[in-house]
């Protein structure tokens, strides 16, 4: 077992003490009146469901946008910095973290990357043996409402355990119908029969990714939604061994997000080993604790000019 896998398993064990194990019914939408922190589009100002993305337009990386995210789950910091505070305070922290990445003429688009299906270890099989559980729908709705207030994209991150990504994503269809909500697949936590999250690094085939992306593309088209962020996390070639067979889909901004941690040399070696920048828009993760020394924003931009999305964990 790698050092990184042991660290993630320890985090999962801690999180199990604080996270709800079952999802409840979707909460009713709360007040969606925008704050003055981000300029409202016409849709938001009128109180309607937005037809455009935060800041205008219908393409995620249009208008020279650079995305910065905080990663984690609701109610605990065990799985990442997003859950260390409430969504509104997290928004302000994301903006502070993201601004140093910007070059002249670029615009920052903040992102909440919220783990909504959390992988569970060997001792927590769940009611159907898939070794994963969904967080409460009411907590996800709270992030949807915060995204509307602050002009933020919400990215639903899936750690499906032994269940396939498409079946897991369909459980979150109610949230993905929102124009500002996208989807992230985390193959590290997609394990097979007889395997346990945290004891092995999981994997997924291009075929399963294509089925999931195809479903999300149709959902986007059928609901007349703006382009959705669609992210594939990866830090070893074995996590998505046939990634070059992943197909691009209309209506999706498809990102390969490279997540290795360690020294700058280690992180760049991981990136160069797995990245396919000719096929995807590129993403990169920075770890507050595990990256020693931590790469500064301008280091990332100089070393990785293809990267348009950086997340913090």
Residue 171 located in a structural domain: yes
Q: How crowded is residue 91: how many other Cβ atoms within 10 Å of its Cβ?
A: 23
Residue 37 located in a structural domain: no
Distances (CA, A) of 13 to 26, 84, 116: 27, 17, 17
Residue 8 located in a structural domain: yes
Residue 138 located in a structural domain: yes
Q: Which long-range contacts (CB under 8 A, 24 or more apart) does 54-58 make?
A: 54/109, 54/147, 54/151, 54/152, 54/153, 54/180, 55/107, 55/109, 55/151, 57/226, 58/226, 58/227
Q: Retrieve residue 182's tokens.
A: 């996208």
For the chain, list residues with pLDDT below 50. 1-42, 44-46
Closest CA to 257 of 266, 265, 267: 267
Helix 87-98 to helix 137-150 angle (10° resolution) is: 50
Residue 39 located in a structural domain: no
Residue 60 located in a structural domain: no
What is the total count of domains within the chain? 1
pLDDT of the residue at 22: 36
Residue 40 located in a structural domain: no
pLDDT of the residue at 173: 98
Residue 43 located in a structural domain: no
How far apart CA 134 and CA 159 sit, in angstroms, is 9
Q: Retrieve residue 293's tokens.
A: 């020394």
Any idea what the CATH number is for the domain that residue 199 is in? Answer: 3.20.20
pLDDT of the residue at 48: 60
The answer to whether 145 touches 174, Cβ cutoff 8 Å, is no
246: domain range? 3-17+66-312
Rg (CA), the chain: 18
Residue 87, C-beta contacts closer than 8 angstroms, at least 6 positions apart: 112, 142, 143, 146, 147, 150
């Amino acid at each position: 077992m790698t050092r990184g896998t042991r660290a993630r398993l320890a985090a999962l064990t801690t999180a199990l003490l604080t996270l709800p194990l079952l999802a409840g019914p979707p909460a009713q939408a709360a007040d969606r009146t925008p704050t003055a922190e981000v300029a409202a589009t016409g849709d938001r100002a009128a109180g309607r469901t937005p037809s455009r993305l935060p800041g205008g337009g219908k393409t995620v990386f249009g208008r020279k946008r650079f995305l910065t995210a905080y990663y984690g789950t609701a109610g605990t910091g065990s799985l990442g910095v997003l859950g260390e505070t409430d969504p509104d305070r997290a928004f302000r922290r994301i903006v502070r973290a993201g601004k140093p990445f910007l070059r002249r003429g670029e615009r920052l688009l903040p992102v909440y990357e919220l783990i909504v299906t959390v992988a569970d270890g060997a001792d927590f099989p769940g009611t159907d043996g898939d070794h994963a559980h969904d967080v409460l729908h009411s907590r996800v709705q709270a992030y949807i409402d915060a995204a509307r207030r602050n002009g933020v994209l919400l990215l639903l991150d899936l750690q499906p355990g032994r269940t396939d990504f498409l079946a897991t994503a369909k459980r979150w269809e109610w949230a993905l119908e929102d124009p500002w909500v996208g989807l992230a697949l985390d193959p590290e936590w997609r394990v097979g029969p007889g395997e346990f999250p945290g004891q092995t690094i999981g994997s997924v085939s291009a075929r399963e990714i294509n089925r999931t992306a195809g479903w999300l593309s149709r959902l986007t088209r059928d609901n007349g939604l703006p382009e959705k962020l669609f992210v594939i996390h990866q830090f070893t070639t074995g996590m998505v061994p046939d990634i070059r067979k992943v197909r691009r889909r209309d209506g999706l901004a498809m990102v390969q997000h490279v997540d290795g941690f360690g020294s700058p040399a280690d992180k760049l070696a991981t990136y160069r080993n797995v990245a396919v920048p000719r096929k995807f828009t590129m993403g990169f993760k920075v770890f507050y604790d595990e990256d020693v020394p931590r790469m500064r924003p301008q280091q990332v931009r100089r070393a990785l000019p293809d990267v348009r999305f950086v997340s913090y964990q």
